[in-house]
Amino acid sequence: MLALLKLIRIKNLIIIALFQSLIRYGLIIPILEHYGYEPTLSHFRFVLLVLASVLLAASGYVINDYFDIKIDRLNRPDKMVIDNGFGRREAMFFHAILSFCGVFIGLFLSYVTRKESWAFMFLLIPVFLWYYSTTFKKQGFIGNLIVSGLTALVAIVVVSLEFASLERFHGSLIIQSEACSTAWFWTLGFAFFAFITTLIREVVKDMEDVFGDKQGGCRTLPIEIGIKYSKIFVALLTSFTIFSIWALFLYIDNINHNTISFWYILLLVTIPFVVSLFVLFKASSPKAYHKLSTFYKIIMLLGILYILIAGQLF
């Protein structure tokens, strides 16, 4: 059981479920109530969305480990699950079950919400995850962008489903309302934060795995441009993220007048990002890069938790 939980990255799945729950209950619903609307999406259908997201993410982790067996033997032999407590055939079967269940639930949600584009999306996600593991991951930055984009999609599907449900009840005018634009604005903001922090973390993980990736024929960013320039790239992304956060802070009136928001963003987001830059340029071993990667995951979680404060501003 422990091997299975490790294989599907249970901690990451919990973060996905938490992220989607915070987006809906901590952000979208307070925004709707502020503008005089009641949410029409049932708790059951939202749980199905979270379940579909978690199942598809888990299937992606399984298939990624399946195709990374040779590389993981070089990079992290002590942390391998497949061939070390979990058979290859079992892993492939489990991947198929997870993918089928995730797609099936996604297609059901597409049908009941009349979102035909969603059906295409849920069918395409497993394909992307498969080709990421077999092809895109070895092509460096393309793989990083795919993983980061799917992370952002975790938040975007929540607001999309919510307003698809509202549209059926209120008509198309709800899509043109200020409630809709506000909900999309905030959700896209957190989706962008998840995208950029995931992208940074993926590049750092590639620095950690340079040795095994080279042997496996991968063309990741650190292999293509070197560790030095990869660090500069991460530093630029981090600096851009800090700048964007404070630009939004100054731009949005109900944030820049909120003392709690100021101290939260300063102490729990900005300072950790600045600290990460010092750790980044000091790091020189796989162990150090692994710790930095974990640190970026904590920063992303702290940024997501700001939703609890943002939802109180309406």
Q: How far apart are CA 29 and CA 26, in angstroms?
A: 7
**C-alpha Rg value of the chain to the nearest Å:** 20
For 150-212, give the secondary structure using H, E and C: HHHHHHHHHHHHHHHHHHHHHCHHHHHCHHHHHHHHHHHHHHHHHHHHHHHHHHHHHHHCHHH
For 138-196, the pLDDT digits (tens) are 776 788 898 899 999 999 999 999 998 888 887 778 888 899 999 999 999 999 999 99
Residue 72 has pLDDT above 70, yes or no: no
Residue 134 has pLDDT above 80, yes or no: no
Nearest residue to 16 (alpha-carbon basis) of 74, 55, 59: 55
For 73-90, the pLDDT digits (tens) are 666 656 666 666 667 788
Q: How far apart are CA 268 and CA 110, in angstroms?
A: 37
Query: 215 falls in which pLDDT band (50, 70, 90)?
Result: confident
Q: How far apart are CA 295 and CA 204, in angstroms?
A: 11
Residue 240 token pair: 């851009």
Query: Does residue 291 or residue 256 have the better pLDDT?
Result: 291
CA angle 98/193/38 to nearest 5° reads 75
Q: Give this prediction's pTM.
A: 0.92
